[in-house]
Chain A
């Protein structure tokens, strides 16, 4: 059974098409990632699923209920953490938690087991006002508040944006353990490195879903060989490669350039090296590498742009 389904969902704000014909499913108990850059339409999808925004077209269900007809049933069954910290800053940790437990008709004690691991970390500060907490603690409190009524589906909109690396790691560990407790989690993130931590991901760009699969499969489906290259004059190398007719795509990636070539060539890396040396580059390094999610994302993004340019 699917915990979340979307079928041909579209949403426009005046002239801006935020979500275009989006369909995907999240299986029960799955940790599903929605990966895309800022402005890709992630938050709009979350707002539609949390029943606060009506889609222009299409249908969606959460926990088996329709987002339009049974929105009340959904609100009892989901936990939502908006991208922006949305708890009462002038109430303490404990008061926030008590308040959100109370409006769902439950108490902290009733579902304490679920939040225990997370709450224990912020418990020493339970009398501190939420506005005075650090970013990581705010995020943990928000997660506690979203979990306090034992939701079936947890919807997390960019929970790790603006949080330090250590807290992000901790947070993903928490999500894993929540998933083990049987909660379906739909999480969005602009960070490609977090995609590998999800069971399945959907890559989204300009309101369109580009691909839905496991991270491994998405990487495996990268159709050509990928090379990493660098030299002393990295920017000149980028321009030279982009000008070369054999090169399909070339973009900066950390200290290296990631390059793909037209056609399937066995001798790609030596061809590139020769090309660079021919143009007067020194200390040239070219090696074949396995692509990451980000490489797949960029390739899919370019393919989509070419398709829409031809239309």
Chain B
């Protein structure tokens, strides 16, 4: 067996002995994949609404029953004044207040125009936006189907554009399709970034590196001896993650497994390089932990993990593109949900190869310098 072989044997022995880390490494994919998609559901299902009806006409009754029957809204209050309804929002009991003014029906029929007031509790921005939109579309639909409008449009023969739409690659626009591929990336990020950095720094902290440095072990042997075990563990965890997403969510990659694994393999090398780089700059595990945590927070928040990168301002997109995570999150979704072929994501692959080269090269360069 070569020196590298002995280093690997030693490394696997140590990993096996540290049962806490080992358990966490394998519990991580299971827990994250089962808990996150269920918990982080951005679909807004029940919106509490309070209605102030000052008209009490047929039209206002129709509108209210249409809102109640939509399934998204729960009418929890009907007050006589807007002021009284607003206390519901202040107490957090309702998310929305809709005010139908007096003369609603009369103005609609006579003048063809009438305003409705909607107040939304925007503490939770996402929910506010989505529930506001729901209500808007219900009112728009109500508006279009009102007999006054139906009659006038029939008479004037005005063209009406009817919109029907289809969600491609995620027909029911379910959040799990969005988040499961991203969690697979997160798993590799944790193992590549955190565990590797901590493992190498531990040799420094305990002092074993002092003993290793005076042996004939070459730098590349030592570094490969560290990277290979975690690369293998990363690939096992990735496979485990894919199996869980198939068993629990029925998500099977539409694209080729080969492409997916090629990406995962290169991405992991890049992240291992990142972990190695951190370890060369840190003297102890606490430092390494903080530095790794700082960068991984940036990676996760800027990479399109939760929010789409398309909506970011230009400068943020530049930062996003400078993280390896963004490229893998993007292609990972493309391959799993859309079935993109290697040709479609060729450029992203080159990005990842570049990241792997730069991060590892930098780490090895810096590692030499410190000794």
B6 / chain A contacts, CB cutoff of 8 Å: 99, 102-103
CB of A295 within 8 Å of the partner chain: no
A103 CA to B215 CA, complexed, in Å? 7
- Does any Cβ of A come within 8 Å of B346's Cβ? no
Partner pick for B216 among A75, A85, A86, CB 8 A cutoff? A75
Which of B10-18, B231-239, B258-266 has 4 or more CB atoms under 8 Å from chain A?
B10-18
Taking a contact as CB atoms under 8 Å apart, the answer to whether A95 and B215 are in contact is no
Q: Is the interface of B mostly helix, strand, loop or mixed?
A: helix
Separation in Å of the A212 CB from the closest CB of chain B?
25
Tell me if A104 counts as interface (CB < 8 A to partner B). yes
Say yes or no: A52-B214 contact (C-beta < 8 A), given A86-B206, A102-B3, A103-B6: yes
The answer to whether B214 and A50 have CB atoms under 8 Å apart is yes
Residues of A in contact, count (CB < 8 Å): 26
Q: Is A91 in contact with chain B by the CB < 8 A criterion?
A: yes
Task: Determine whether B213 belongs to the interface, using a CB cutoff of 8 Å to chain A.
Answer: yes
**Within the assembled complex, what's the spacing in Å between the Cα atoms of A91 and B15?**
11
- Answer yes or no: B161 CB below 8 A from chain A CBs: no
A84 at the interface (CB under 8 A from B): yes
Q: Could you tell me if A89 and B216 are in contact, using CB atoms closer than 8 angstroms?
A: no
Cβ of A180: which chain B residues have Cβ within 8 Å of it?
Answer: none
Q: Is B35 an interface position by the 8 A CB rule?
A: no
Number of interface residues of B (CB under 8 A): 20
Asked if A72 CB lies within 8 Å of chain B CBs, one says: yes
CA distance A91 to B3 in the complex (A): 18
Q: Does B208 contact A (CB under 8 A)?
A: yes
Complex Cα–Cα for A86 and B214 (A): 12
- CB distance B216 to A104 under 8 Å? yes
Contact A80–B206 (Cβ < 8 Å): no
B163 interface hit (Cβ, 8 Å): no
29 contacts between A and B (CB under 8 A): A50-B213, A51-B214, A52-B213, A52-B214, A52-B371, A72-B216, A75-B216, A76-B216, A80-B214, A84-B207, A84-B210, A85-B207, A86-B207, A88-B10, A88-B14, A90-B14, A90-B17, A90-B18, A91-B10, A91-B13, A91-B14, A99-B6, A102-B3, A102-B6, A103-B7, A103-B215, A103-B217, A105-B3, A129-B17
Binding site for A on B (CB under 8 A): 1, 3, 6-7, 10, 13-14, 17-18, 206-208, 210-211, 213-217, 371
